[in-house]
Structure 1
Amino acid sequence: MNTLARPSQTRSFSTVFLIEMWERFGYYGMAALLVLFMVQKLHYTDDTANLTWGAFTALVYAAPAIGGWIGDKVLGARRCMTIGAVILGLGYLLLGIPSDNTTLLYAAMGVIVVGNGLFKSNAANLVRRIYEGDDAKIDSAFTLYYMAVNIGSTFSMLLTPWIAQNWGWHTAFAVCCAGLVLGLLNYLLMHRTLAHVGSVPDDAPINWGKLAMVLGIGLALVFVVSFVLQHGAIAKALVWLAGAVILGIFVWLIGKSAASERSGLIVALILTIETILFFIFYQQMSTSLTLFALRNVDPAQTLFGLRLFDWIPAQYQALNPIWIFALSPPLAWLYTRMGRSGRDLPIAAKFAIGFVVVAIGFFIFGISGGTAVDGKVSSWYMVWGYGFYSLGELLVSGLGLAMMARYVPARMGGFMMGAYFVATGISQYLGGIVANYASVPDNITDPLQSLPIYTSLFNKLGVVAAIGALLAVALLPMLKKLSASHHDNNQAIDPNLVVAEER
């Protein structure tokens, strides 16, 4: 990057920071509501709502693997980010139309998948390019970038459920669209601060033919996604096929790679599987935990007998980013202190600890039934359960792309990054399947009957997370040996090519 542009780093970053914040405001405002909207407004069964959400988020997480390539090779990162934001706004606008037509719902979800695919990876890519060659600042920049994600999600997860309760579901979805509009207006005012930043196609005049091709393919994908979401059997088959293909390619690459590369690829495969397991737990936030809050959590938040306020069921999801705000500084301080004393924790150890605290979180949700009154548990169980749940996220979810950067050869970098996004998407669908183990039949409306259904699932998830922790610990010696074998290989992906992984 031209050094003359360096004084504008802060302003350039602020431009991306703000559009990212408003984009996450829109996405998480929608995410907080959609399962409840399907269950309460459209009268979907728990099974259908969970699997529809799981298939949708699987595509949302996988789409950036394609969008990043389009930004790098076809249209440019800046253009893709802008187009993606516009398309996302259209998706939320469709949800805001006051209609219970399910075809409109699926069309909106298809539009959101396409928009997210173009936006997500390219916005993060611009942050990397702003600080390219400035390693001292890039870590801090991505820490602040992650803060933008959490600022946007916190406010929207608190606001949109309140709007839905007082003015209706579609008004709340329209507010998500308004967030994107504000982000785009700010970008239009500040876009010149990014004039020197972008991928190679950004510097060339717009190729209208390529733009038309991308938009045409995007429109076709909207129809494909809408069709897949309406046919659960097809969605399920595609997920299993994607999983088999990724596993097969991993095994093939390990078999064909040089001996110096093989150990790193094996480590990457093991940690990718552990990441998939974690995101199955993570998916419960929008599914089983939200439906549990709807049916079996006392909304009153009390302290020493004093009623402070009442929660709306969807608002409990905001506890996740709130806890991340609270826990990130002490965790960063701890990592720094350990690093200075030469006691850095290996990535595999962080995975193991992450599973331990996730297990504690689910056991908190599980034991809550023991103190329930008339089938309703105290909100404090949600507060503390989400606390451990969020600590697990900090320990695990931010490590995935860093793990790929460390262990995957540079020549496989682009493909393996895409494969990681797809694997994360698969875990979202699997999370929906798991949530269905707590599916409450339509004929059960008594909290005393639904409570054991949820607590049984949460206790089982706690056990699975604990087993995951034990397996992670058992694998530590082997992973340590493989990592040591890989250490001398200097062909890993350039860390500057890695973008921040975000929620």
Structure 2
Amino acid sequence: MDNTEVVNTQDELLEGKATGKHPKGLWVLFGTEMWERFNFYGMRALLTLFMVNALLMKEGDVTIIYGGFLALCYLTPMLGGFIADRFLGNRYCIIIGGALMAIGQLLMFLSASSFESNLGSAQMLMWVALGVIIFGNGFFKPNISSMVGSLYPKQEKSKLDSAFTIFYMGINMGAFLGQFICPFLGDVKDADGIRDIHAFKWGFLAASIAMVIGTLTFIILKNKYVVTPEGRPIGGLPSESTAADFEEGETQTAHFSGKSIGFAVAIFVLTFFGFQYLFVDHIGFGSVGMGEFVKAIIYPFIYSMGLALAFLIMSATENKVERDRIWVIYIVSFFIIFFWAAFEQAGSSLTFIADNQTDRHIFGWNMPPSMVQIFNGLFIVILAVPFSMLWDKLRANKKEPVSPLKQAIGLGLIALSYLIIAYNVKDLGNSGLLAVKWLILLYLIQTMGELCLSPIGLSLVGKLAPKRFASLLFGVFFIANAAGYALSGTLGSILPATGDKFVAAQEQNIDLQKVLDKTYQPTPKELFLLAQSNLADTDFGKDESLKKEVRDLFAENNKIIAAQRGEFDTKVKELQKENPDAKVQFKMDLAQLKFPSDDQLAKIKNDNVIKAEYKSFVGFEIRNLFEFFMVFVILCGIAGAILAMISPILKKMMHGVN
């Protein structure tokens, strides 16, 4: 549509005429999504640091749990999309999802309020909270995205890229606010750099309040503004849909035969065990606690479900055009797995690097490590409208890249961001600090890549998906996000030892560098100490009795170590009142700790139960941060190049959709 022919009045939009303005319903969905992302990203910024510092969980396990949590958050949209399409509609699912997420964040607040008095109960509350948030996200996420596409009549579908980019700005405005306010309240350190672990609860409470605001915003404004150009409600009960809600000639309900469902179930079962065998026995990721669960259960489930749904949806297609367009969604979804695996290091490995080996001073202010992620949301807010205008201008000049090529550019940009930071950490060693400006630059480049990939992907699904299972296909699209997030957790777990790890080992009179380089053979007790302090990985095999004994000792020792650190911090503060420049290094009182029996210690050593060694990925040792970052350069670079090469083929399969 030529911009000179645009009629700029909202009244004409409500009459069903083409207009240059976006409908007011977009801004209602924008605001609802903004508060939801405040809630989600604010919690995400604190989650890994909370688990390590307050719940005393192993850093390697936490990274895997983080990836698994995000993966499950993007698996449940498949369920939420199905329930919306067949039973409840988009509106009710959004309200249910918002309420669940608000409750989940409140449970995180309770967990962060009780860990000191009862660590076990606090950990259990956290698991329940994460489960509630996962299902809340599943109800919320696909349905609000689906409603954006439904706001526009057929003659204005070309504006979807612009609409989704604006919508994406709402997502990231919320992310920006959440990643500023929640860490400001919850990730608090004093002048000596000592973290107040009791402050985490206020960040989680802020996230809960934000979700309540978002849900109420939607409930109050949905009937007035979230409507079609003719004024009919969008996203109501499927039983109330009319022919006017669908494209001309399009079937209104997806019909899946019993035979198709049976075949889909068989495909899921067979591929689940096939992928399980592949990931557990042949990929060779270094084992890191919960990583075994992710490899054995979540990975196979994600890919098997994706294949089963591909078959099921294809069985309900009505013509070649539909099939080709759906295949484009699946092909593009595969490639974005690698983008999210790299991008979602923000909440795990990049946060740990910001905490442990980064000089975070900006104009004299020492930024909390969890807040460094804020630059992604900030840059999205700044760049979303310029990118939207760029696509509009290129479209007007008939030079707009096809959507898969835009996404290939996004993959190339994220590879570039990691290449730049890889060369800036190459010579840091064990004690050097990375300047925070390089993390800021990384987030800037990754933000540009995200704007080329994520809103464009949402728009592509909105334009290619048949209306009768649009929400289900949005759920399928989010499976790719889930796969990427699961992979991000496993890749994050190969993060090599950084500066703080060597200091922690020195507190126990252990030279970690010599241990890693195998120039020193640690004693069984030293191996146990390294595992206790998150400096070594554990693999008990099938020896459940030894596993329970060691894990129980870890739990007891965590309390002893926390008490020792508390006493040390108090003494340092008293000392610094007399001498502000006094620096005293913490030394763990090993005599207070509890160790396994001599026989168990011998077994730990002889059976290689505790491994203090470099992490590995597909057989290659990751010895330093340079090699760690180059993993993402290679994965995303190759994926982007292949997607760019096949973009002309995908363009033909899209049958006129750009």
- If the TM-score is normalised by the length of the shorter chain, which range does it land in? 0.7 to 0.9
Select 2:413's aligned residue among 340, 357, 374: 357
In structure 2, the partner of 1:197 is 233
Residue of structure 2 equivalent to 1:345: 401
- What's the offset of the Cα at 1:275? 1.1
Q: Percent identity?
A: 25
1:266 to 1:89, Cα distance in 2 relative to 1, 3 A? closer
CA contact (8 A) 1:293 1:313 kept: yes
Give the Å deviation of 1:292: 0.9
Q: 1:316: which partner in 2?
A: 372
Query: 1:370-409 to 2 correspondence within 5 Å?
Result: 370=426, 372=428, 374-404=431-461
In structure 2, distance between residues paired with 1:127 and 1:408? 13
TM-score by length of 2: 0.62
**1:170 and 2:201 correspond:** yes
Counterpart amino acid of residue 203 in structure 2: A
> How far apart are the structure 1 equivalents of 2:307 and 2:97?
30
For residue 360 of structure 2, the aligned residue among 278, 299, 313 is 299
Q: Quote the Cα distance in structure 1 between the aligned partners of 2:309 and 2:221.
A: 43
1:52 equivalenced with 2:65 (yes/no):
yes
Output the aligned Cα RMSD. 3.6
C-alpha displacement at 1:328, in angstroms? 2.6
CA distance in 1, matches of 2:316, 2:393: 40
Out of 183, 189, 203, the residue aligned to residue 214 of structure 2 is 183
Structure 1 counterpart of 2:474: 417
Contact 2:109 2:205 in 1 (8 A): yes
Distance 1:463 1:202, change over 3 A: closer
1:109 and 2:130 matched:
yes
State yes or no: 1:240 paired with 2:325: no
1:6 corresponds, among 2, 14, 32, to: 14
User: How many residue pairs get matched?
Assistant: 455
How far apart, CA to CA, are the structure 1 residues paired with 2:360 and 2:498?
23
* 1:72 match: secondary structure: helix
Give the Å deviation of 1:443.
8.8
CA drift of 1:85 comes to: 1.3
Q: Deviations over 1:40-84 (max 9, x none)?
A: 222222221111111111111121222133233322322222222
Give 1:326 deviation, angstroms: 2.7
- DSSP-derived class of the 1:197 partner: coil
Q: 2:489 aligned with 1:432, yes or no? A: yes
Residue identity in the other structure for 2:307: L
Aligned residue identity for 2:636: A
Which residue of structure 1 aligns with residue 351 of structure 2?
Answer: 290
Deviates most, 377-386 or 362-371 = 362-371
Change (3 A) 1:375 1:325: same
Question: Are the structure 2 counterparts of residues 442 and 63 from structure 1 closer, same or farther at C-alpha, using a change threshold of 3 Å?
Answer: farther
Q: Is the Cα–Cα contact under 8 Å of residues 264 and 483 in structure 1 kept in the other structure?
A: no
Q: In the alignment, which residue of structure 1 is the partner of 2:382?
A: 326
CA deviation after TM superposition for structure 1 residue 124, in Å: 3.2
CA shift, 1:106, in A, is 0.5
SS at match of 1:438: coil
Q: CA separation of 1:442/1:234 partners in 2, compared to 1, >3 Å: closer, same or farther?
A: farther
Q: 1:338 to 1:142 in 2, by over 3 A?
A: closer
Q: Is the 8 A contact 1:263 1:483 kept in 2?
A: no
- SS state at 1:43 partner: coil
1:86-125 equivalences under 5 Å are 86-97=99-110, 98-100=113-115, 101-125=122-146
- Unaligned 5+ residue runs, structure 2? 1-10, 17-21, 116-121, 189-197, 227-231, 241-288, 505-511, 514-534, 536-621
**Runs of 5+ unmatched residues, structure 1:** 205-229, 302-306, 496-503
**Which residue of structure 1 aligns with residue 169 of structure 2?**
147
Rg: which structure is higher?
2
CA distances 1:352-379 after superposition (whole Å, capped 9, x unpaired): 3222211110012212224649421111
CA–CA separation in structure 2 for the residues paired with 1:253 and 1:197? 27
Give me the whole-angstrom Cα distance separating, in 1, the residues matched to 2:219 and 2:456: 33
CA, structure 1 residues 380+452, in 2 after alignment: closer, same or farther (shift >3 Å)?
Answer: farther
Q: What is the DSSP-based 3-state SS (H/G/I as helix, E as strand, rest coil) of the residue aligned with 2:234?
A: coil
Distance 2:136 2:312 in 1: 33
Cα distance in 2 for residues equivalent to 1:83 and 1:197: 18
Establish whether residue 459 from structure 1 lines up as the match of residue 630 from structure 2: yes
Q: Secondary structure at the match of 1:375?
A: coil
For residues 490 and 148 of structure 2, the distance between their equivalents in structure 1, rounded to whole angstroms, comes to 35
Aligned to 2:43: 30
- When structure 1 is superposed on structure 2, of 333-342 and 151-160 the one drifting more is 333-342
Q: Structure 1-normalised TM-score?
A: 0.79
Partner Cα separation in structure 1 for residue 311 and residue 29 of structure 2: 38
Task: Name the CA distance, whole Å, in 1 between partners of 2:446 and 2:379.
Answer: 9
Name the stretch that deviates more: 450-459 or 309-318.
Answer: 450-459
User: What whole-Å deviation, never above 9, does each CA across 1:183-238 have from its counterpart, x for those lacking one?
Assistant: 3444455455258523342897xxxxxxxxxxxxxxxxxxxxxxxxx976444323
**What is the alpha-carbon distance in structure 2 between the residues aligned to residue 80 and residue 415 of structure 1?**
13
* CA distance in 2 between partners of 1:171 and 1:316 (Å): 19
Match of 2:29 in 1: 16
Cα pair 1:46 1:439 within 8 Å, conserved: no
Q: Which residue of 1 aligns with 2:651?
A: 483
> Could you say if the C-alpha distance between residues 199 and 434 of structure 1 is closer, same or farther in structure 2, counting changes exceeding 3 Å?
same
1: CA distance, partners of 2:40 / 2:371? 14
Distance 1:343 1:17 in 2: 29
Cα contact 2:359–2:435 (8 A) shared by 1: yes
Contact persistence 1:79–1:202 (CA under 8 A): no
Distance 1:188 1:405 in 2: 24
Distance 2:95 2:384 in 1: 30
Q: Secondary structure at the match of 2:451?
A: helix
Structure 1 window deviating more from structure 2 (457-466 vs 99-108): it is 457-466
Q: 1:187 to 1:470 in 2, by over 3 A?
A: closer
Larger CA deviation: 91-100 vs 135-144 = 135-144
